[in-house]
A and B are shown apart, each in its own frame.
Chain A
């Protein structure tokens, strides 16, 4: 499972509140990703990181920020959660070498009421 842990696994929150999702990896991979999965949209890239303090935007980055202060942790923050951000969020790491391979965490289900 590439040593990926997401927390929390489930969260229900109110509109307008801040939310932080955490992704922790144990294998020192350089590249980490946050995706959201929604019916009819598949997996869409929110942000990704290519090293400590190095991040870049994906397809659907509006309303989200990320931070990576340590190799092993990649945090996704919803500064003011909206109902449209109700989704399942997946963290992934990319292995090194060749094309690399994405390994995904188990997902974090977020419901914004």
Chain B
């Protein structure tokens, strides 16, 4: 049962462009939405996270946009760089459950 749907599966962007990855969820009890970045041969690492009381969070070139009514959130990578080439996972969890449900991942390639 996939509770977090992520798209696209893969993405190719030119250097300097904007990368956009989208996620949708069904469970309205989710109240924490992190994004993880994974390089080949490594474990995922937390990139940025948001709670539903804000509509946007920005950290450097990375921004999460959150639409509570649509039950969707997205990751925007501004000025994408070849070093951003990695697999990105969205996730969701509910306070008190300590379970984290992940999306299926997006493989991003940024062309030099």
Within the complex, what minimum Cβ distance (angstroms) separates B32 from chain A? 5
| Chain A binding surface SS class | strand
Chain B minimum-CB-distance residue to A33: B100
Is A50 in contact with B104, judged by CB distance below 8 angstroms? no
Beyond A99-B32, A99-B93, is A42–B102 a contact (Cβ under 8 Å)?
yes
A99 touches B89 (CB 8 A): no
Interface string of A22-52 (1 = CB under 8 A from B): 0000000001010100001111110010100
B89 cross-chain contacts in A, Cβ below 8 A: 42-43
Among the listed stretches A63-71, A76-84, A104-112, which one makes contact with chain B, having 4 or more residues with CB under 8 Å of it?
A: A104-112
**A-contacting 9-mer, from B14-22, B39-47, B76-84:** B39-47
- Contacts A42-B102, A43-B44, A101-B34 known; list 17 others, CB within 8 Å: A31-B98, A33-B100, A40-B9, A40-B104, A41-B104, A42-B89, A42-B105, A48-B98, A58-B99, A59-B101, A90-B43, A92-B43, A99-B32, A99-B93, A102-B46, A103-B45, A107-B41
